[in-house]
Structure formats: structure tokens, C-alpha cells
């Protein structure tokens, strides 16, 4: 009678058990850490390689890998241990006080300030300067815009359109938010855009609809701005 050790079914069962043991999360973690220590590999190196290198990450596009990393850091356990949830809203995961503080600091900056009555057009909008302001003055707000203002398919490997932040949309959204928070001291965009619409021959009814959406002032308000510009021009003669 064959011994249990020489029984083919017993050997197969042991192999299955060894395989299952090797694929346990704890075992994978232990072997990974041991390999990293032997190779001098660090968590910082792994995260950077995961985001930047396409060669060894299969069919996952870079945007998809970044999204997976972000989603992983949103895990309540990870965010708490790492300290990403300090001072954040329990419902949204956002530092609401920090965001509003950044936006209030942006009010008064060029293109987010009070219209001074001088002749200015939408062609004067300088996106490179505006983007630099958003990056330096409102970094958290800028990251939020960069996260939200993308097509929801941008993380798909098959998505071929640009995944770069739409700077024009980022500016308009930010200008509207600043204007909502400081209607008198951050009205540059709404005034200039209204004057542009009027000067382009847009009908009053259309302007009133756009004004109702909060993108510019009313038709009467725009006429007041035009009068203000004309008066300022006469004073400069």
C-alpha cells in the first residue's frame, strides 16, 4: 500500500496548498518587501515608476494609473494614517476652509480683480499668467480643477483626445467662483465679457439670458460700463 507521501493525489493537494499559500496577500507582501530591501528599492521609487513609466505597466494609460493611485489614497484607512484627512470635510474629503481661503487670496489679482473702467477686451486675457496664479496662489483649487475638468473617459487606454487641463475653462470657472464670493471686488471677467458681447452685436435678449446664467452683467449694467469706459477715455485725451 503506497504511503500518503507517495500518493499522487496527496502530492497534488500539497502543491495546491503551497500555491494558495504563495498567493496569499500576506505572503505576496512579505516577498515584495524582501525583494525591495535586497534591491535597494523604495516606496518612493515605486510610486514614481508607477506614474511615469509605461513600459512595464501593461495597457494601463498614465492617466488611468494616476487615477488608481488617487483612489487608493482616498481609502479612509490610508488617508487617516498618512494624515491626508486632517482638517478635511467628512462628507466631501475636501479642505473647504483651505479652498475658500485660497480663492479669497486670488481676489484682487490680475484678471480676478475689480474692473477699473478702462478699455479692456477679452483678447487681453493672458492664460499663462492666470495659470501661474492658480498654481501658486490656489494650489489646492488648481489640483481640484485638474481632477474634475476632464472627460470621464480620459482614464481609458483607448481615449485619444488630449487629457491636458482646459485652461480657458479653468479660468472661467475660477472667475465665476471669485465673482460669487466677491461681487464688487472681483468683477473683471463679467464686465469685460459683457462689453465683448455688446460690442459683437449680440442682441439684448441673448445678453439677458447669458446674464441670467451669471456669466456677465445685465444689459443695462453693460451700458453703464461702456459709458464708464468712454468717460475714462475722454479723461486720457
pLDDT tens, N- to C-terminus, the chain (237 residues): 555 555 656 655 555 555 555 567 788 888 899 999 999 999 888 888 887 777 665 677 777 788 888 888 777 777 767 666 544 444 445 788 889 999 999 999 999 999 988 767 888 999 999 999 999 999 999 999 988 888 777 666 676 666 678 899 999 999 999 999 999 999 999 999 999 999 999 999 999 999 999 999 999 999 999 998 888 778 777
Query: On the CB side of 149, how many CA atoms lie within 13 Å of its CA?
Result: 17
One domain for residues 31 and 110: no
Whether 216 contacts 210, CB under 8 Å? yes
Q: Tell me whether residue 199 is in a domain.
A: yes
Same domain, 34 and 139: no
pTM of the model: 0.60
Judge contact between 151 and 161, C-beta under 8 A. yes
Is residue 55 one of the residues assigned to a domain? no
User: Domain residues for 37?
Assistant: 1-41
Amino acid at each position: 500500500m503506497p504511503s500518503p507521501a507517495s500518493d499522487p493525489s496527496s502530492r497534488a493537494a500539497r502543491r495546491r496548498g503551497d500555491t494558495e499559500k504563495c498567493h496569499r496577500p500576506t505572503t505576496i507582501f512579505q516577498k515584495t518587501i524582501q525583494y525591495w530591501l535586497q534591491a535597494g528599492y523604495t516606496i518612493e521609487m515605486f510610486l514614481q515608476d508607477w506614474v511615469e513609466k509605461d513600459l512595464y505597466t501593461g495597457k494601463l494609460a498614465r492617466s488611468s494609473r494616476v487615477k488608481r493611485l488617487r483612489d487608493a489614497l482616498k481609502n479612509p484607512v490610508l488617508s487617516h494614517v498618512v494624515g491626508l484627512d486632517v482638517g478635511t470635510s467628512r462628507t466631501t474629503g475636501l479642505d473647504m476652509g483651505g479652498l475658500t481661503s485660497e480663492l479669497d487670496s486670488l481676489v484682487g489679482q490680475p484678471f480676478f480683480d475689480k474692473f477699473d473702467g478702462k478699455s479692456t477686451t477679452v483678447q487681453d486675457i493672458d492664460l499663462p499668467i492666470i495659470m501661474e496664479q492658480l498654481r501658486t496662489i490656489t494650489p489646492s483649487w488648481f489640483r481640484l480643477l485638474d481632477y474634475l475638468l476632464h472627460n470621464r473617459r480620459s482614464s481609458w487606454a483607448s481615449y485619444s483626445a488630449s487629457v491636458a487641463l482646459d485652461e480657458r475653462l479653468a479660468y472661467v470657472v475660477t472667475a465665476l467662483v471669485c465673482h460669487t464670493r466677491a461681487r464688487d471686488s472681483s468683477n473683471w471677467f463679467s464686465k469685460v465679457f459683457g462689453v465683448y458681447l455688446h460690442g459683437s452685436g449680440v442682441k439684448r435678449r441673448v445678453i439677458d439670458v447669458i446674464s441670467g446664467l451669471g456669466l456677465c452683467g445685465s444689459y443695462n449694467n453693460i451700458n453703464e460700463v461702456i459709458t464708464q469706459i468712454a468717460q475714462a477715455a475722454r479723461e486720457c485725451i
